[in-house]
Amino acid sequence: MTAENTPADLDGMAWARQRGMGALAEKMGIEFVEFTIERSVATMPVAGNTQPVGLMHGGAYVVLGESLGSMAANLHAGPTRLAVGVDINATHTRSATSGIVTGVCTPVHLGRSITVHEIVVTDEQGRRCSTIRITNMITDRPAV
């Protein structure tokens, strides 16, 4: 977030809880663990988010990544601006089959008009399952 629109004592977790993750993330069981501009962490259960063969669905990894990256970009954007996704890609390298997965989101670039975040999703053994990169464009909030 830029200094001109961010209170120094901003609590990212409180902001995220107040805003909410959205209906899709809630249906998928995504839960925040940590939320700051520098690092955001959330978990998601494998159960209920699998392909027919019992492996974690690749799209579920992407939902976790986009949820974290978009929320982090909006925290950075500040209260008068809006971050919207313009590009996302994912490389899946392992399939979780049980338990929970954890997404860790870190900024690659935090600009005035563009943000880029990398989200690394790991299984309970700490093995990387997916690497997601999301780019968000920051614009002025539309008048309501």
Write down the catalytic residue from 31, 38, 66, 118. Answer: 66
In angstroms, the CA 74 to CA 119 distance is 16
Residue of 134, 138, 139 whose CA lies nearest to 121 = 134
Residue 54 lies in a domain: yes
Q: Give the domain extent around 81.
A: 23-140
pLDDT for 17-73, tens place per residue?
Answer: 888 888 999 999 999 999 999 999 999 999 999 999 999 999 999 999 999 999 999
Q: What is the CATH number of the domain that holds 51?
A: 3.10.129.10
| pLDDT band per the 50, 70, 90 thresholds, residue 10 | low
Residue of 48, 51, 144 whose CA lies nearest to 100 = 48
Say how many domains are in the chain. Answer: 1
Residue 130 lies in a domain: yes
Q: Is 124 a catalytic residue?
A: no
pLDDT for 101-141, tens place per residue?
Answer: 999 999 999 999 999 999 999 999 999 999 999 999 999 98
In angstroms, the CA 55 to CA 49 distance is 8
